[in-house]
Structure 1
Amino acid sequence: MYFVDEEYSEQAAFLSAGTFLTNQPWIHKERVIDSYEIICPVDSTLYIESNHIPYAIEAGEILLIPPHTFHRGLKVCEGRLKFHWLHFSGAHLGPKSEEEVIRKINEKDPDEMIILPIYTNKIDSRRFHVMFNQLLDLYQEKKPRSYLDAYLTCLLYELTAEIRSYLIQKASNGNRLQPIQDWIRIHAFEDITLEQIADHFKYNKNYLSRIYKENTGIGISEQIIKFRLKHAKELLTETDLSIIEIASEVGYEDAKYFMRLFKKYVNVTPTEYRKTFYCKHYNKK
């Protein structure tokens, strides 16, 4: 999830910033605030829940907490903990999915947009830390508010540039991976391996495995399983084939292994799935 201002029609207003540092056990208190907050650990891990989603934010990662969002610590952080925090308001930021953001980047002039992720580990945090420390120095020097707002805008555009670059690269990889995904779908019921797929498309197998998971959210082995189980569901509801025959049809000679996989991914056994959906299928006719 991202928060986006497509035209940055209203400049963000700087409110406050600081660096939290402790060497004692500490947990973030429960609260709801009326401004945006950006948190970026410098070292150690901050355990926090925001909008009922748990995060373990490592050094160099960034979490955005939108206004009026309940957040609290999840567990005590032991030992040294240091993180930057920044509060701002004013920008007309609205929630959008990753697909929507990529589409907007392609439709509009991306230089006019502010794009802030709810959570990311895809940026060069060193640049963020440098700019944050400069902003903090200006704040502590009691520079005029307009000066701080302008520098905040620079910081938000820097984050946007990092995220935009990541999303464009991810979309490009996604297009590049589509032929591979299509090939896997066609051959999923055969005894195929990562090595065979990598050889067919002239990739290093470790590189292919990594970029496939980064861009689809699942590994190649799991992708094969999902294609097989999707077809198994169709056979269960549209044919009278036995479970053993269906297992073989989708690439599993060991029917018991197929049934275990089906239960793991679908949460019911193949027999239970057929009883539930077989009649529904034919009632539509």
Structure 2
Amino acid sequence: MAMTDHTIRYFSSTTDRPLSCDVCGQLISRDGFLHQRRTLSINVLILVTEGTLYLTANGIPYTVPPNHYIFLHEGEEHFGHRASTGSLSYFWVHFFAAPPFRAVADTFSCQDSAYFFPEYGKLVSPGRILSLFRRLTDLSLDECKNAPRMLDYTTSLLLMELSSTPQSSDKKNSSGIPAVIPAACDWIHANYRRSFFVEELADAVGYQADYLSSLFKRHMGLSLVSYTNRLRIEASKKLLSNYDLSIKETAYSCGFPDEKYFMKVFKKFEQCTPTDYRRRYR
């Protein structure tokens, strides 16, 4: 966690080009590691796997324990403000982005960007990102002709995975919204096409279900169920206007447990039945 109270920034990029990997690796220290002071003209992503990294970035002191990451934006000073105690291990990658990553205030307008993530967070399920970091370090030692290109694409996939991986945080982003809200939205976007309970979502982002529901309603203005159903209805409209699926198949494809509930929710949002909508827009 960060050692001082501040708002967590979110970073986004709309680039369609692969990120450019400059160098990557894994740091392993037995004791007393202190990060040097520097300002780089390149982005850095760090994921701690063992021990605790003490790092100040952009004037904010962070304590980065295992399964936590920190994104260091190009042009901003960072340095170790305290030496680690005991073993420390983390993966790191330096990379360029064109156009560059930018801090965004309106987090929800960037939800569909290829790259969109908070500058600091805890990974609820770090397995895939760890695998990609390991793949990066392997590729950095590979002398095959396609290795540089593979490094770029693997770095891009790593940042895309970070953008879609549920994260847990009690901090607020620059718009005053707790970081768990965008994390919950990310999880819903990845899972709304199947049926799930709020408890599963809450467990994924590290919150108690009732508290998460209340927090979500307070900041989003609608319930978790309504938010999820809105996504499902939008998906169903595309299926209804472009494919010949039955109403039952459409309902199941969009995460509704049965067609009757689907029809009820559809009419609530669209003021017409799914069949009527299909007739209008086919």
Which residues of structure 2 form unaligned runs of 5+?
1-8, 168-179, 189-207, 220-282
Query: Does the alignment pair 1:43 with 2:32?
Result: no
Change (3 A) 1:66 1:168: closer
Distance (Å, rounded) in 1 between the aligned partners of 2:209 and 2:117: 28
Q: Letter of the 2:109 partner, please give it.
A: R
Which one has a bigger Cα radius of gyration?
A: 1
Residues 110 and 116, structure 2, Cα contact 8 Å, conserved in 1: no
Q: 1:37 to 1:153 in 2, by over 3 A?
A: same
User: What is the letter of the counterpart of residue 103 of structure 1?
Assistant: S
Task: Tell me by how many angstroms 1:95 deviates.
Answer: 0.9
Match of 2:23 in 1: 16
Give the 5 Å matches for 1:272-283: none
1:9 shift after superposition: 3.2
Change (3 A) 1:78 1:212: farther
Q: Which runs of 4+ in 1 moved over 6 A?
A: 213-217
Query: Does structure 1 residue 208 correspond to structure 2 residue 210?
Result: yes
Deviations 1:105-138 (A, max 9, x none): 3xxxx2x521132101144212111111011101
Aligned to 1:121: 122
Per the alignment, do residues 171 and 114 of structure 1 end up closer, same or farther by CA in structure 2, a change over 3 Å counting?
A: closer
Preserved contact between residue 56 and residue 79 of structure 2 (Cα < 8 Å): yes
Matched with 1:54 is 61
Q: Which deviates more from structure 2 when the two are superposed, residues 116-125 or residues 160-169?
A: 160-169
**Partners in 1 of 2:49 and 2:31 — Cα distance?**
16
The residue matched to 1:121 in structure 2 has which SS?
A: strand
Paired amino acid for 2:71: L
What is aligned with 1:148?
151
Calculate the aligned-residue CA RMSD, in Å.
2.8
Hey, what's the Cα distance between the residues in 2 that align with 1:37 and 1:22?
A: 19
| Structure 2 residue 135 is matched with structure 1 residue 134 | yes
* Counterpart among 105, 109, 124 of residue 103 in structure 1: 109
TM-score, structure 2 length as denominator?
A: 0.56
Confirm whether residue 76 of structure 1 aligns to residue 83 of structure 2.
yes
Residue number in structure 2 paired with 1:197? none
Percent identical pairs in the alignment equals 19
CA change 1:79–1:88 in 2 (3 A) is same
Query: Cα offset for 1:163?
Result: 5.3
Aligned-partner Cα distance in 1 for 2:29–2:217: 37
1:167 lines up with 2:151 in the alignment: no
Once residues 79 and 128 of structure 1 are traced to their aligned partners in structure 2, the CA distance between those partners, rounded to angstroms, is 24
Deviation at 1:71, TM superposition (A): 0.6
Return closer, same or farther for 1:61/1:168 CA change in 2, 3 Å cut-off: closer
Shift of 1:142: 3.0
Structure with the larger helix share: 1
The answer for unaligned runs of 5 or more in structure 1 is: 174-205, 218-285
Q: Which of 9, 31, 36 is the aligned partner of 2:38? A: 31
Query: Which of 7, 10, 19 is the matching residue for 1:2?
Result: 10
SS in 2 for 1:25: coil
- Tell me the amino acid that sits aligned with residue 145 of structure 1: P
How far off is 1:140 after superposition? 1.1
TM-score (norm 1): 0.56
Q: Distance in 1 between matches of 2:46 and 2:217?
A: 26
Q: Deviation per CA, 1:42-96, whole angstroms, max 9, x where unpaired?
A: 1111111000011101101110001111111111101111111110013321111
Opposite residue 13 of structure 2, the aligned amino acid is D
